[in-house]
Structure 1
Amino acid sequence: MSEILQSSERPRRQRSLVAPMLVSVLDEAAQDFLRQRSSLRRFAPDQIIQQRGDKGEGLWWIERGAVTVGRFHPDGEFRRVALLGPGDSYGELAMLSGRPRVVDAISRGESELRFVPARAIEELFAARPETAQVMLGAMALQLQEMLDIIAGIRRGTGLARIAGLLVNLSAGAATTVTTTQQELGELLGLTRATVNLALGELESQGAIRRSYGKVEILAPEELALAALG
């Protein structure tokens, strides 16, 4: 068990909001195994990658670019729930449960993704049974993080919620997060005006710097304190 925890607790790279990490926790040999059995596909800006109701016949693994995950509503509006980047994967739950997809996914700009069929995962588990335990540990950790995120975004001021979201998007590091005010508002259920005011306050405190479509994290510690409300 200690080996499993070490694999799933390795130092994190930057991760997106509620980004699945089931592929990223695997060692290089296991990842190469999946690469050899996957197909690389390219998508244009705003191209639909998957739709709710599609069969979960495999998982998607982002090589380049970014993917917005959410749901199209009956009125045609798209509500975002996650922003995923290189190294992130998604679609594992539908694949493992044998149930249809529950979210839509759109390419955010040009992107390249690998489609890993379910049979490749099955072959990996058969060849290296320990990888199933590693991925199970990652799923448990991800569920804990998801519950923490849900608890956090449902309470506190708009400022605290925006700060908490940015902490998650940046994995608590000094880095640049590619996101718009509109996307931040949709992820948290806040108006764009509220997001703008919160970002302005965080910028005046020296925690961030805004630019078009990006938020630069300057002081992760200050941002984490602001998230506490």
Structure 2
Amino acid sequence: MKRADKTLIALLAEMPGTRTLPEPVRERIACEAYDSIHQRNEFVVRAGDPVHSWVGVADGLLKITNACRSGKVVMFTGVPSGGWFGEGSVIKTGVRRYDVIAMRPTRVIHIPRTTFRWLLDTSFEFNHFIIGQLNERLSQYLGMVEADRLTDPVARLARAISGMFNPVLYPNMGEKLPISQEELGELAGLPRQRANIAIKQLSAMGCVHAEYGSLVVTDLAALRNYQEREV
């Protein structure tokens, strides 16, 4: 069965953060959660929106961005299938501080704030997961600050690709990333032509192998070391 056709309870049994919870807990979450479908370039949430839910990607790909006063759009990260975002915003009060946009047709799961808080109050397992997410998210954003200074397109692309293979934030990711070269360029802040050249360079180094509509990471350690060396 395709993920787009699965019920919420079936998806929650597969998603990190909920799949290890007892079945009665997942059933309650499924009763209170809801999903939505977004086409390419549609907003999932906008900066300034009230925070009503914790959001997960059941199937598809999102990008998290922010527009500065100068007009420059800052790309924070991509969120692939199996990833969650916004736990910090749900814990705090206030509004979203970023835009989240679908990069392709995407199905997302919304766990309401009240359900999220109930899980924090009652589940040690869920608390452990959220603490891990928050810690890893901090490291991720510190890395983004450094990566924003990169001028080498190959280093920018290496950073964007390796970020999608974070084992804590995106544990469902295998060796193959279903993504187009255009989407990769968008995540790295590169024009499509420069992204294509950078992919060929990483492929020649043995880090990745490009296939139609996807990218196979053949040496993740080398990919991470490349971006770290260039920062």
- Per the alignment, residue 13 of structure 1 pairs with none
SS of aligned partner of 2:195: helix
- Letter of the aligned partner of 1:210 in structure 2? A
- Per the alignment, residue 146 of structure 1 pairs with 141
From 95, 98, 101, the equivalent of 1:100 is: 95
The 1:117–1:187 alpha-carbon spacing in structure 2 relative to 1, beyond 3 Å, is: same
C-alpha deviation, 1:148, in angstroms: 3.1
How does 1:23-172 map onto structure 2 within 5 Å? 24-25=16-17, 27-29=20-22, 33-71=28-66, 80-128=75-123, 131-132=126-127, 134-155=129-150, 157-171=152-166
CA distance in 2, matches of 1:212, 1:74: 38
SS of aligned partner of 1:179: coil
The 1:69–1:160 alpha-carbon spacing in structure 2 relative to 1, beyond 3 Å, is: closer
- Per the alignment, residue 205 of structure 1 pairs with 205
CA distance in 2, matches of 1:198, 1:107: 24
Contact 2:75–2:189 (CA<8 Å) still a contact in 1? no
Contact 1:174–1:220 (CA<8 Å) still a contact in 2? no
Q: Where in structure 2 are there 5+ consecutive unaligned residues?
A: 1-14, 168-172
User: Once the two structures are aligned, what percentage of the paired residues are identical?
Assistant: 17
C-alpha deviation, 1:191, in angstroms: 4.4
Contact 2:54–2:87 (CA<8 Å) still a contact in 1? yes
Q: Where in structure 1 are there 5+ consecutive unaligned residues?
A: 1-22
SS of aligned partner of 1:60: strand
Matched, 1:217 2:217: yes
The Cα offsets for residues 176-219 of structure 1, whole Å up to 9 and x where unpaired, read as 22334444444444444443332221222232222444322223
- TM-score w.r.t. the length of structure 2 is 0.71
C-alpha deviation, 1:119, in angstroms: 0.6
- TM-score w.r.t. the length of structure 1 is 0.71
CA distance in 2, matches of 1:69, 1:31: 27
- Per the alignment, residue 9 of structure 2 pairs with none
Question: What is the number of equivalent residue pairs in this alignment?
Answer: 207
Q: Which has the higher contact order (CA 8 A, sep 6+)?
A: 1
The 1:153–1:73 alpha-carbon spacing in structure 2 relative to 1, beyond 3 Å, is: closer
The 1:66–1:152 alpha-carbon spacing in structure 2 relative to 1, beyond 3 Å, is: closer
CA distance in 1, matches of 2:26, 2:78: 22
The 1:117–1:202 alpha-carbon spacing in structure 2 relative to 1, beyond 3 Å, is: same
